[in-house]
Amino acid sequence: MRLPMVLLTIAACAVSAHAACPPSGHDRDRLAALRENAFALPDADVRNALAVDLLDCLGAPDPDLRDGIAFEALSTWLRADRLTAATRTALLARLLPMLEPTTGDEAGFRRPFAALVLSEVARTDRASPWLDAAQREKVVTAATRYLTSVDDYRGFDDREGWRHGVAHGSDLLLQLVLNPALDASQIERILAAVAQQVAPAGTHSYVFGEPERLARPVLYAALRETRSAEQWHAWFAAVAAPAPLPDWHAAFQSRAGLARRHNVRAFLSAIYTGTRDGDPKLSLLAPIALARLQEIP
């Protein structure tokens, strides 16, 4: 089912008064019991209303509410096709603005979890198209803008749980790459966004599996066979370049250099490992990634 853009605006207005977290009528114990019951909620009206209300828990400091209940409930219902088209539209209208860096997400939870939930919404469109081309383009634009804007690289904290902005943004891009409705130019924008986060400026070294998550949309982009070998060589040459270092040997002279070396090697290793599943469409990337790895001391 394809919905006109005006419905996105209507949905956005309809949820202007956001519920609290936990949502009204659903205290922690009730939500925990719902989780114990695998989020089974027979009343469709209650389920769809709760799905929208749970978006306010994506910024909750409590990881049990944010991740264990809000995300898990939304993912469960979306994957089981238990939410209406109107609810999916309302989710989309709420989630897209959450990706913007101006939403006041000082704690750093809301944006990455909005990206993760949006990846589940995007997955529903991949499985059974319901967005039109203009709506899908809005998602691509928001997703690529989000990933390139991430500068909070906190991953997991024993007390606060996950943030994981780069990984969640990569998951969103993966669902978009998997959608056959995207065209070659949109795939190029996704690859450009990934390239910007392979080795971010500064001294941060990825330690929470981000390189593997960044590699996934790249590997699936290769499966689409929209790019030539020359394009892939050029893309990996840029991603694996030592710049702003003069060469890779200079990486051992600074923390920023060591971080870049670590992150680029981890990404190339993830790409190379990902090509080993035997799919002949990925065979093109294996020697490119390996050659770039061998250039880094």
Tell me the average pLDDT across 195-204.
Answer: 98
Tell me the average pLDDT across 103-113.
Answer: 90
Q: Please report whether residue 291 resides in a domain.
A: no
pLDDT given at position 105: 86
Q: Please report whether residue 145 resides in a domain.
A: yes
Q: Torsions phi, psi of 156, nearest 5?
A: -120, 140
Q: Please report whether residue 223 resides in a domain.
A: no
Is 178 a residue whose pLDDT tops 70?
yes
Q: Please report whether residue 212 resides in a domain.
A: no
Confidence of residue 69 (pLDDT cuts 50, 70, 90): very high
Tell me the average pLDDT across 153-160.
Answer: 98
Confidence of residue 277 (pLDDT cuts 50, 70, 90): confident
Cβ-proximal residues to 247 (8 Å cutoff; 6+ apart), any chain: none
Tell me the average pLDDT across 137-144.
Answer: 99
Confidence of residue 90 (pLDDT cuts 50, 70, 90): very high
The enclosing H or E element of 156 equals strand 156-157
Q: Please report whether residue 92 resides in a domain.
A: yes
pLDDT, greater one: 4 or 157: 157
Q: Please report whether residue 282 resides in a domain.
A: no
Tell me the average pLDDT across 125-152.
Answer: 98
* pLDDT tens-digit map of 228-250: 999 999 999 999 999 999 999 99
pLDDT, greater one: 207 or 15: 207
Cβ–Cβ under 8 Å, residues 155 and 164: yes
Q: Is the dihedral of CA 284, 285, 288, 293 positive or negative?
A: negative
Confidence of residue 4 (pLDDT cuts 50, 70, 90): very low
Long-range contacts of 147-151 (CB under 8 A, 24+ apart): 147/172, 147/173, 147/193, 147/194, 147/196, 147/197, 148/193, 148/196, 148/197, 149/101, 150/111, 150/112, 150/197, 151/200
Is 252 a residue whose pLDDT tops 50?
yes
Instruction: Look over the chain and give the mean of its residue pLDDT values, rounded to a whole number.
Output: 94
Percent of the chain with pLDDT over 70: 93
Please give the residue range of the domain that contains residue 174.
5-182
The number of folded domains in the chain is 1
Q: Please report whether residue 95 resides in a domain.
A: yes
* pLDDT tens-digit map of 7-66: 444 444 433 334 499 999 999 999 999 999 999 999 999 999 999 999 999 999 999 999
Q: Please report whether residue 69 resides in a domain.
A: yes
Is 6 a residue whose pLDDT tops 90?
no
pLDDT given at position 103: 65
